[in-house]
C-alpha cells in the first residue's frame, strides 16, 4: 500500500492521507480525482476501518464498480468485501428496502423509470379529463414530471405544493392543475407499491428525518463518508449527507465547481461552494495539475472559466507540451460546418489517426443530423453516444416488466406493458374495463384480472379465461422467488414465453430478430453477472435486487467498450462529462444555441453555460476545435447567428481563428501540416493563381460581393438554367424562377434557382446585400412575391 501512496503527486498524497475531519478536494479537469478517491478508500481499509463502515457515493454504477475492482487489487478482496459503494440512488434503494415498513412500502417495491412515470402521468391526466389536444400543449407529461421532480427535490409534498410558489407559477403558465396531478400521481404510485427516482432520495430523507433511531443506526454504520462529483449534488443529497455526517464529521467530498453543469436536474453549485461554511473545520486540497490536456488547451479553458464570478479559486496547469492552439473556425452555414468537421476527421484518419480518438460535441441532440450526414458522405464510421440505453430497448423492457410484475403484483404499469406481450388476445377494451373495475374496487389491475368475478369485471368468458391464465403464470413465478435466484427465474420465464429464437425453430433470422436475440441473451448475461457478484459478496441474488440495479443503470454503465471497429463519438456535452479524447470538435458555438435562448435571462444561467463549454474544452487532450455557422436551420427556420459570446472570453494568446467555406474558390487544405492547423486557406483567381496568407497568420479570402440593386438584376430569362425547375409549389400558389420576394429576416431578393430534394422544394435567393441563400421552402417565410 505504501508503494501505491508514493506514486501519487504531493497534492494527491496529502488529500489521501488526511482523515482527521471533513475535507474538500477541489479536483480540476484531468487531475486524477478518481485515483485520489480510490486510494483514499484503500488507505482507510489499510488502516483497519471495516469496509461496511465506509460509504462511498458516486454518480454512475460503472465508476463504483471500477473503483471497487482497483481497491480489491490494492488491499485484497477479503479486506474490501462489503464496501457500501455505489450511486446515491442504488445505495438509498437498498436502505429503503431494508426499512420499507417505516414508509408504508413492502421490500419488493418497484422503482419506476422515466418512461413508467410518464405513462402514469398520462393515465392520471386522462382520468382527470385534461388530455385534450389543447391541454396537451400545456400539460405535457414531460413538463409535469419536471415540476413534480423539482418539488420533490425541494422537499415539497403534494399537500404543500398546492399552496406554494410552484402552484402560483403554474397558474401563470395557465396550468393550475399540476398540483392535482402530483397528488393523484403519488397516490397511484403508493397503491402500486412503487417509487420513482426522486422518491429514492426524498423517502431516504424522510426516513432519517422522522426516525431518529434509524438515522442513528446508519450514522454508526457509516463512520466515513466519501462523495464523488459533489458539485452535481442536489438539495436532498446535500441534506442526507449532512444528516449522516452530523456527529462524526468524517466526510470527504471531491469535485470541481467549474464542472457543475446539471442545474436543470436540480444540482446546486452552492453545495460545493459553501462546503467550508457548513464544516468550518474542513481542510481544502487542490488538485491543479491536468494530466490530460496540452498547455494551450488548459490555458484557453482556464481563461474562459475565469470570467465566472461564482467559483472556488484554483490555478489548473499542465506540464505537457504547448501543443496546438485552440481553433476557432467560422463557417458560412451548418452544412459547411459539418463538412469541415467531417473532412478534417477523414483527413487525419487517412494519415493514421484512429477514429476512436475523435469526439464531436454539441449543445443539443438536434445538431447531430447534419454532422451524421457529413460523416456518412465521407464513409467515416461514427456512433451516437447516449442513444437508446440497453435497458430501454423494447425486448429488454418487456422482460423487465414481467420480472417487475412477478416481484410486485401491484405494479400496474408493468402489467399494462406486457399483458398482451406476446399477443394473448387481450385488447384495449378489456384493459379499459379492468382499469375501471380496479379503480371502483380500489385494488390493483393484477388482483382484478386474477379474480374477475370477485370484482365484477364485465368481460367475455373467453377474456376471463385468458386473464386468469396470465395472472396464474405470473403467480407461479412469484412463488419461485424464495427458492430461486434472479437468473434461474429469468431463464425459466424466457423459455416459457418462447423468446429464445433459434435458427432451427424459425429458419434464417432477420437482422431485427438477431438484434432482439442478442439483447435477450445480453440481459440474461447481465442477470448472471449480478448473481455471481452478489453471491461472491455473500449476499442474496434476489430478483428485486437485480431490478433495482437495472432500473438505476445509466447510459455510461451500459455502454459496451465496443466492438471491433473504431468509430467517431458523437454526443451532447452533458453526455461527454467524465470522458476524454485526443481530438475534440465542439460544433454550434453561436449565441442562441450556445448559450441557449433560455440561458440569456440571468447571470447564473450564463455561468452554467460557460462551465458547460469549459467541460467540452477539457475533454480534449491534443486538439480542440470550436466552430460556428453564420446561418443555421434552427427551430424550424433559417437563422442568422452571432458567434457565441464565450469565444471572446477565451484569451487570444491561446487561440487561432480562421474562416471556412465562404466562396466556391476558397478551401481548406488539410494536407500540409507544417504551416499550422486550419490556416491554409487559399483564394484563387480565375487564372488559378493563389495568394499567400498575410503575415498575421489569418487566411486571405476572396472579397465578398458588393450589395446589388435588385432593380438592376437581369430578367428571369437571363438566369434560366438547364438544371433545376421553372416553378415549384409554394403555399397556395407557385414560386417562379426570377420572382422578386421579400423575406421576413433577409429582406428583398430574387429567385435564382429552384430545385427539389428529399426534404422538399428549395430555392436559391440572391438578396439585396449580395448574399445568396439556399432555402427549404417549407420553412421559408416570404411576406410578398412578385413576378420578375
Distance of CA 284 to the CA centre of its chain: 31
Alpha-carbon distance values, 474 to 422, 468, 493, 788 (Å)? 14, 10, 9, 73
Assess whether 498 and 646 both reside in one domain.
no
User: Who's near 459: CB < 8 A, 6+ residues apart?
Assistant: 430, 433, 434, 452, 467
Assess whether 77 and 224 both reside in one domain.
yes
CB of 205 within 8 A of CB of 155? yes
Query: Has 28 been labeled as part of a binding site?
Result: yes
d(CA 198, CA 93): 11
Residue 74 C-alpha cell reads as: 490494492
Q: What is the pLDDT of residues 549-588, one digit of tens each?
A: 887 765 555 555 445 689 999 999 999 998 999 999 999 9
Is 699 part of any domain? no
Assess whether 249 and 117 both reside in one domain.
no
Q: For the chain, what is the radius of gyration of the CA atoms?
A: 30
Q: Is the pLDDT of residue 368 over 90?
A: no
619 is catalytic: yes
d(CA 648, CA 702): 25
* 391 secondary structure, DSSP code: G
- pLDDT for 141 equals 86
Total domains, the chain: 5
Length, in residues, of the chain: 788
> Domain with 175 in it: what CATH number?
1.10.10
Query: Has 616 been labeled as part of a binding site?
Result: no
CB of 770 within 8 A of CB of 713? no
User: Chain-wide mean pLDDT for the chain?
Assistant: 85
500 or 234: whose pLDDT is higher? 234
Listed residues 138, 172, 192: the one ending a domain? 192
d(CA 445, CA 461): 18
Phi, psi of 253 (to 5 degrees): -115, 140
The strand pairing partners of 504, in sequence order, are none
d(CA 114, CA 122): 12
- pLDDT for 711 equals 35
What is the arithmetic mean of pLDDT over 702-723? 34
* Closest C-alpha among 380, 121, 67, 404 to residue 254: 67
Alpha-carbon distance values, 320 to 9, 291, 367, 428, 626 (Å)? 15, 8, 33, 64, 21
Cite the DSSP H helix spans in 713-755.
none
d(CA 551, CA 647): 40
Assess whether 73 and 139 both reside in one domain.
no
Assess whether 431 and 369 both reside in one domain.
no
- pLDDT for 142 equals 84
Is 759 part of any domain? yes
- pLDDT for 553 equals 67
Choosing from 339, 619, 657, 752, which is the catalytic residue?
619
Residue 26 C-alpha cell reads as: 477541489
Distance of CA 446 to the CA centre of its chain: 34
Q: Is the dihedral of CA 587, 592, 596, 602 positive or negative?
A: positive
* 325 secondary structure, DSSP code: P
> Domain with 417 in it: what CATH number?
1.10.486.10
Assess whether 77 and 116 both reside in one domain.
no
Residue 765 C-alpha cell reads as: 435567393
Q: Is 640 in a helix, a strand, or coil?
A: strand
Q: What is the pLDDT of residues 95-133, one digit of tens each?
A: 999 999 999 999 999 999 988 999 999 999 989 988 644
784 or 479: whose pLDDT is higher? 479
CB of 653 within 8 A of CB of 643? no
Residue 24 C-alpha cell reads as: 474538500
d(CA 430, CA 193): 23
Choosing from 33, 397, 516, 577, which is the catalytic residue?
33
d(CA 110, CA 193): 6
Q: Is the pLDDT of residue 701 over 60?
A: no
User: Who's near 728: CB < 8 A, 6+ residues apart?
Assistant: 734, 735, 754, 756, 761, 763, 777
Q: How many other C-beta atoms can be found within 10 angstroms of the C-beta atom of residue 277?
A: 9
- pLDDT for 54 equals 96
CB of 629 within 8 A of CB of 332? yes
Listed residues 626, 642, 663: the one ending a domain? 663
Residue 423 C-alpha cell reads as: 399477443
- pLDDT for 733 equals 82
* Percentage with pLDDT > 70 across the chain: 85
Choosing from 184, 199, 228, 398, which is the catalytic residue?
228
Residue with grid cell 413538463, as numbered in its chain: 143
494 burial via Cβ count (<10 Å: 0-12, 13-18, 19+)? middle
* 597 secondary structure, DSSP code: G
Q: Which of 15-19, 83-87, 439-443, 695-699 has the lowest mean pLDDT?
A: 695-699
Residue with grid cell 443539443, as numbered in its chain: 364
Is 300 part of any domain? no
463 burial via Cβ count (<10 Å: 0-12, 13-18, 19+)? buried
Is 312 part of any domain? no
- What is the crossing angle of helices 165-172 and 178-191, to 10°? 120
Is 446 part of any domain? no
Q: Is the pLDDT of residue 442 over 90?
A: yes
Choosing from 34, 138, 554, 637, which is the catalytic residue?
34
Query: Has 526 been labeled as part of a binding site?
Result: no
347 is catalytic: no
d(CA 629, CA 589): 8
| End-to-end CA gap in the chain | 83
What is the arithmetic mean of pLDDT over 430-445? 94
228 is catalytic: yes
- pLDDT for 298 equals 98
> Domain with 756 in it: what CATH number?
2.30.30
33 burial via Cβ count (<10 Å: 0-12, 13-18, 19+)? buried
Assess whether 433 and 515 both reside in one domain.
yes
pLDDT band at 195 (very low <50, low <70, confident <90, very high): very high
- pLDDT for 530 equals 85
Query: Has 430 been labeled as part of a binding site?
Result: no
Q: Is the pLDDT of residue 734 over 60?
A: yes
Peptide bond into 676 cis (omega under 30): no
d(CA 134, CA 130): 9
What is the arithmetic mean of pLDDT over 584-612? 91
What is the arithmetic mean of pLDDT over 13-41? 94
The C-alpha angle 659, 662, 664, rounded to 5 degrees, equals 130
Assess whether 405 and 367 both reside in one domain.
no
Assess whether 16 and 88 both reside in one domain.
yes
Choosing from 231, 259, 666, 762, which is the catalytic residue?
259
User: Who's near 398: CB < 8 A, 6+ residues apart?
Assistant: 417, 418, 421
Q: Is the pLDDT of residue 138 over 70?
A: no
The strand pairing partners of 761, in sequence order, are 756
Query: Has 620 been labeled as part of a binding site?
Result: no
34 is catalytic: yes
Is 702 part of any domain? no
Q: Which residues span the domain enclosing 516?
A: 390-441+453-552
Phi, psi of 666 (to 5 degrees): -110, 130
pLDDT band at 42 (very low <50, low <70, confident <90, very high): very high
- pLDDT for 560 equals 52
Is 345 part of any domain? yes
d(CA 381, CA 346): 10
Assess whether 60 and 146 both reside in one domain.
no
Q: What is the pLDDT of residues 289-344, one digit of tens each?
A: 999 999 999 999 999 999 999 899 999 999 999 999 999 999 999 989 999 999 99
721 or 730: whose pLDDT is higher? 730
d(CA 724, CA 286): 63
Is 736 part of any domain? yes
Q: Is the pLDDT of residue 600 over 90?
A: no
Assess whether 599 and 626 both reside in one domain.
yes
H-helix or E-strand spanning residue 194: strand 194-196
Q: Is the pLDDT of residue 679 over 60?
A: no
Q: Is the dihedral of CA 331, 337, 341, 344 positive or negative?
A: negative
- pLDDT for 705 equals 34
Alpha-carbon distance values, 134 to 178, 234, 674 (Å)? 15, 34, 61
User: Who's near 52: CB < 8 A, 6+ residues apart?
Assistant: 82, 83, 84, 221
The strand pairing partners of 766, in sequence order, are 750, 772
Q: Is the pLDDT of residue 255 over 80?
A: yes
User: Who's near 125: CB < 8 A, 6+ residues apart?
Assistant: 131, 135, 139, 141, 144, 181
Q: Is 190 in a helix, a strand, or coil?
A: helix
CB of 364 within 8 A of CB of 264? no
CB of 358 within 8 A of CB of 345? yes
d(CA 242, CA 236): 10
- Helix/strand/coil percent split, the chain, to 5: 45, 20, 35
d(CA 254, CA 271): 12
Please state whether beta strands 637-640 and 581-586 pair in parallel, antiparallel, or not at all (unpaired): unpaired
Q: Which of 348-352, 493-497, 783-787 has the lowest mean pLDDT?
A: 783-787
Q: Which of 211-225, 305-319, 541-555, 713-727 has the lowest mean pLDDT?
A: 713-727
- What is the crossing angle of helices 197-210 and 141-153, to 10°? 20
d(CA 524, CA 511): 20
> Domain with 368 in it: what CATH number?
3.40.50.300
356 or 134: whose pLDDT is higher? 356
Three-state SS across 215-278? HHHHHHHCCEEEECCHHHCEHHHHHHHHHHHCCCCCEEEEECHHHCCCHHHCECCHHHHCHHHH
Listed residues 489, 520, 552: the one ending a domain? 552
Q: How many other C-beta atoms can be found within 10 angstroms of the C-beta atom of residue 475?
A: 13
Assess whether 642 and 600 both reside in one domain.
yes
d(CA 234, CA 219): 21
What is the arithmetic mean of pLDDT over 231-253? 96
Q: Which of 340-344, 395-399, 479-483, 682-686 has the lowest mean pLDDT?
A: 682-686
564 burial via Cβ count (<10 Å: 0-12, 13-18, 19+)? exposed
Query: Has 27 been labeled as part of a binding site?
Result: yes
Amino acid at each position: 500500500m505504501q508503494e501505491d501512496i508514493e506514486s501519487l503527486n504531493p497534492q494527491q498524497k496529502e488529500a489521501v492521507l488526511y482523515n482527521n475531519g471533513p475535507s474538500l478536494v477541489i479536483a480540476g479537469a484531468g487531475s486524477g480525482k478518481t485515483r485520489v478517491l480510490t486510494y483514499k478508500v484503500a488507505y482507510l481499509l489499510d488502516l483497519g476501518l471495516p469496509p461496511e463502515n465506509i460509504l462511498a457515493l458516486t454518480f454512475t454504477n460503472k465508476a463504483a464498480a471500477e473503483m471497487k475492482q482497483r481497491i480489491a487489487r490494492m488491499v485484497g478482496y477479503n479486506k474490501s468485501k462489503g464496501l457500501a459503494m455505489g450511486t446515491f440512488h442504488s445505495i438509498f434503494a437498498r436502505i429503503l428496502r431494508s426499512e420499507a415498513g417505516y414508509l408504508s412500502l413492502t421490500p419488493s417495491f418497484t422503482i419506476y423509470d422515466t418512461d413508467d412515470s410518464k405513462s402514469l402521468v398520462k393515465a392520471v391526466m386522462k382520468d382527470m379529463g385534461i388530455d385534450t389536444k389543447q391541454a396537451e400543449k400545456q400539460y405535457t407529461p414531460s413538463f409535469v414530471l419536471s415540476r413534480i421532480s423539482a418539488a420533490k427535490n425541494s422537499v415539497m409534498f403534494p399537500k404543500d405544493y398546492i399552496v406554494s410558489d410552484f402552484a402560483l407559477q403554474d397558474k401563470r403558465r395557465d396550468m393550475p392543475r399540476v398540483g392535482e396531478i402530483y397528488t393523484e400521481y403519488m397516490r397511484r404510485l403508493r397503491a402500486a407499491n412503487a417509487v420513482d427516482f426522486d422518491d429514492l432520495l426524498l423517502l431516504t430523507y424522510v426516513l432519517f428525518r422522522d426516525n431518529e433511531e434509524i438515522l442513528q443506526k446508519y450514522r454508526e454504520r457509516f463512520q466515513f463518508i466519501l462523495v464523488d462529483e459533489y458539485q452535481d449534488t442536489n438539495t436532498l443529497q446535500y441534506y442526507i449527507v449532512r444528516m449522516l455526517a452530523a456527529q462524526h464529521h468524517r466526510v470527504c467530498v471531491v469535485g470541481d465547481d467549474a464542472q457543475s453543469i446539471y442545474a436543470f436536474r436540480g444540482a446546486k453549485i452552492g453545495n460545493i461552494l459553501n462546503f467550508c461554511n457548513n464544516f468550518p473545520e474542513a481542510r481544502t486540497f487542490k488538485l491543479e495539475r491536468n494530466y490530460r490536456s496540452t498547455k494551450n488547451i488548459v490555458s484557453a479553458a482556464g481563461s474562459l472559466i475565469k470570467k465566472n464570478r461564482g467559483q472556488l479559486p484554483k490555478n489548473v496547469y499542465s506540464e505537457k507540451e504547448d501543443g496546438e492552439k485552440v481553433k476557432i473556425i467560422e463557417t458560412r452555414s451548418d452544412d459547411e460546418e459539418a463538412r469541415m468537421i467531417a473532412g478534417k476527421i477523414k483527413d487525419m484518419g487517412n494519415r493514421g489517426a484512429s477514429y476512436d480518438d475523435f469526439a464531436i460535441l454539441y449543445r443539443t441532440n438536434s445538431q447531430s443530423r447534419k454532422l451524421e450526414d457529413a460523416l456518412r458522405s465521407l464513409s467515416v464510421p461514427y456512433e451516437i453516444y447516449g442513444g437508446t440505453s440497453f435497458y430501454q430497448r423494447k425486448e429488454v423492457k418487456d422482460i423487465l416488466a414481467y420480472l417487475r410484475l412477478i416481484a410486485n403484483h401491484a405494479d400496474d404499469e408493468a402489467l399494462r406493458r406486457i399483458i398482451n406481450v406476446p399477443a394473448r388476445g387481450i385488447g384495449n377494451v378489456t384493459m379499459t374495463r379492468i382499469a375501471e373495475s380496479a379503480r371502483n374496487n380500489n385494488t390493483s389491475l393484477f388482483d382484478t384480472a386474477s379474480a374477475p368475478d370477485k370484482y365484477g369485471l364485465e368481460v367475455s368468458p373467453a377474456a376471463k379465461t385468458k386473464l386468469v391464465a396470465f395472472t396464474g403464470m405470473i403467480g407461479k413465478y412469484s412463488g419461485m422467488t424464495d427458492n430461486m435466484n434472479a437468473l434461474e427465474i429469468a431463464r425459466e420465464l424466457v423459455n416459457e414465453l418462447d423468446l429464445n429464437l433459434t435458427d432451427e425453430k424459425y429458419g434464417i433470422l432477420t437482422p431485427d430478430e438477431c438484434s432482439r436475440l442478442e439483447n435477450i441473451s445480453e440481459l440474461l448475461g447481465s442477470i448472471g453477472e449480478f448473481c455471481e457478484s452478489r453471491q461472491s459478496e455473500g449476499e442474496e441474488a434476489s430478483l428485486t435486487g437485480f431490478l433495482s440495479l437495472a432500473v438505476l443503470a445509466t447510459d455510461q454503465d451500459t455502454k459496451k467498450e465496443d466492438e471491433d471497429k473504431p468509430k467517431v463519438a458523437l454526443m451532447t456535452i452533458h453526455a461527454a462529462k467524465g470522458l476524454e479524447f485526443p481530438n475534440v470538435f465542439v460544433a454550434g458555438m453561436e449565441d442562441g444555441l450556445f448559450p441557449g435562448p433560455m440561458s440569456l435571462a440571468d447571470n447564473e444561467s450564463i455561468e452554467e453555460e460557460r462551465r458547460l463549454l469549459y467541460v467540452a474544452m477539457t475533454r480534449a487532450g491534443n486538439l480542440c476545435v470550436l466552430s460556428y455557422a453564420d446561418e443555421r436551420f434552427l427551430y424550424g427556420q433559417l437563422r442568422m447567428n452571432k458567434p457565441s459570446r464565450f469565444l471572446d472570453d477565451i484569451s487570444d494568446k491561446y487561440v487561432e481563428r480562421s474562416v471556412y467555406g465562404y466562396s466556391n474558390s476558397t478551401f481548406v487544405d488539410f494536407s500540409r501540416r507544417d504551416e499550422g492547423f486550419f490556416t491554409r486557406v487559399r483564394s484563387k483567381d480565375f487564372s488559378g493563381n493563389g495568394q499567400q496568407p498575410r503575415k498575421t497568420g489569418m487566411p486571405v479570402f476572396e472579397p465578398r460581393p458588393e450589395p446589388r440593386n435588385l432593380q438592376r438584376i437581369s430578367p428571369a430569362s437571363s438566369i434560366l438554367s438547364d438544371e433545376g425547375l421553372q416553378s415549384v409549389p409554394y403555399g397556395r400558389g407557385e414560386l417562379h424562377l426570377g420572382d422578386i420576394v421579400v423575406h421576413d429576416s433577409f429582406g428583398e431578393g430574387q429567385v435564382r434557382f429552384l430545385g427539389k430534394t428529399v426534404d422538399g422544394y428549395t430555392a436559391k435567393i440572391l438578396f439585396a446585400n449580395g448574399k445568396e441563400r439556399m432555402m427549404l421552402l417549407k420553412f421559408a417565410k416570404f411576406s410578398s412575391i412578385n413576378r420578375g
